[in-house]
């Protein structure tokens, strides 16, 4: 488990759904673009298909981000792979220079193969199926990405984060909290009993929350921060990770504010 960072270290640059301002979210193109544009970590969302494959897509349905319709859980992997997860982003006309294979709904295994050794992963487990959590833990453990923090797990579902703690005590895991969630001393104390950190909405961040989290040895990440002034303010507060659609913007800010040789 990776739960501490050197004082004054810059935040981890986390590309939300990949470089989602530059490429269609949660595609291999978005993840490879994030790596090229300076992300330290790629965030992605996982669901299970009808036939039990772990795929990377944000919504429970394919309607918004593909040219198909229906619940991910009601589609077989083969059916899902025939869909384009890129057309919506390019207004129906994918540029001919792009490889359609990079614009399908990816399987977690493919993403692991793409990023391993190049970039860390932040895997958000959507839904509450125990077999999804177990499958994600197995895949990351087999890739040797769990005990060394190369992959971090997170979920809004407390039961899911607790399940990760039990299945993989060696893992780094974050409790996601929604916008408006009250993160007082008791909540922070509770999270510290089963997680390594908190990933909260950026509006929840206060100097007090940063202090309490770090005193309890918790990492503190915030989402989703695209404004440069807000990125700077959160960096000054000492956040451990900032999750952004604009990873190139955050990477440039980190580069410009980090002393040479640090």
Residues that bind ligand G3P (CB under 6 A): 16, 43, 45, 58, 124, 176, 199, 223, 243
Query: Does residue 45 belong to the site contacting Ca ion (CB under 5 A)?
Result: yes
SS3 of residue 131 by DSSP: helix
Nearest Cα residue to 41 out of 121, 142, 103, 149 = 121
Contact set for Ca ion, span 105-134 (CB under 5 A): 124
- Least distance from ligand G3P to the Cβ atom of residue 12, Å: 12
Q: Is the Cβ of residue 43 or residue 102 nearer to ligand G3P in the bound state?
A: 43
Beta bridge partners of 223: 201
Query: Does residue 245 belong to the site contacting Ca ion (CB under 5 A)?
Result: no
Site string for Ca ion, 152-191 (x = CB under 5 A): ----------------------------------------
Nearest Cα residue to 19 out of 11, 28, 10 = 28
Q: Which does 243 bind (CB under 5 to 8 A by kind): Ca ion, ligand G3P, none?
A: ligand G3P
- Least distance from ligand G3P to the Cβ atom of residue 154, Å: 6
Q: Are strands 54-56 and 41-48 parallel, antiparallel or unpaired?
A: antiparallel
| 153 close to 136: Cβ distance less than 8 angstroms | yes
How far, in Å, are 138, 187, 196, 216 from residue 171 at the CA level? 12, 21, 8, 17
| 232 close to 254: Cβ distance less than 8 angstroms | no
Q: Which does 168 bind (CB under 5 to 8 A by kind): ligand G3P, Ca ion, none?
A: none
| Positions that interact with Ca ion (CB under 5 A) | 45, 124
């Amino acid at each position: 488990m990776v739960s501490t960072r050197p004082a004054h270290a810059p935040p981890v640059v986390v590309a939300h759904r990949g470089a989602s301002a530059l490429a269609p979210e949660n595609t291999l193109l978005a993840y490879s673009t994030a790596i090229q544009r300076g992300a330290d970590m790629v965030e992605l969302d996982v669901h299970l298909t009808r036939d039990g494959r772990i795929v990377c897509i944000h919504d429970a349905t394919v309607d918004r981000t593909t040219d198909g319709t229906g619940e991910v859980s009601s589609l077989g992997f083969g059916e899902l792979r025939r869909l384009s997860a890129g057309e919506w982003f390019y207004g129906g006309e994918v540029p001919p220079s792009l490889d359609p294979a990079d614009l399908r709904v990816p399987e977690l295994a493919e993403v692991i193969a793409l990023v391993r050794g190049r970039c860390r992963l932040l895997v958000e487990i959507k839904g509450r199926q125990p077999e999804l959590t177990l499958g994600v833990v197995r895949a990351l453990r087999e890739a040797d990405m769990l005990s060394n923090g190369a992959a971090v797990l997170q979920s809004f579902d407390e039961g899911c984060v607790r399940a990760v703690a039990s299945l993989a005590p060696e893992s780094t895991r974050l409790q996601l909290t929604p916008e408006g969630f009250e993160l007082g001393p008791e909540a922070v104390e509770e999270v510290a009993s089963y997680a390594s950190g908190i990933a909260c909405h950026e509006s929840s961040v206060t100097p007090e929350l940063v202090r309490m989290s770090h005193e309890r040895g918790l990492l503190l990440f915030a989402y989703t921060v695209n404004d440069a002034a807000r990125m700077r303010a959160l960096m000054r507060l000492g956040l451990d990770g900032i999750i952004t659609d604009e990873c190139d913007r955050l990477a440039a800010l980190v580069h410009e504010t980090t002393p040479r040789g640090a």
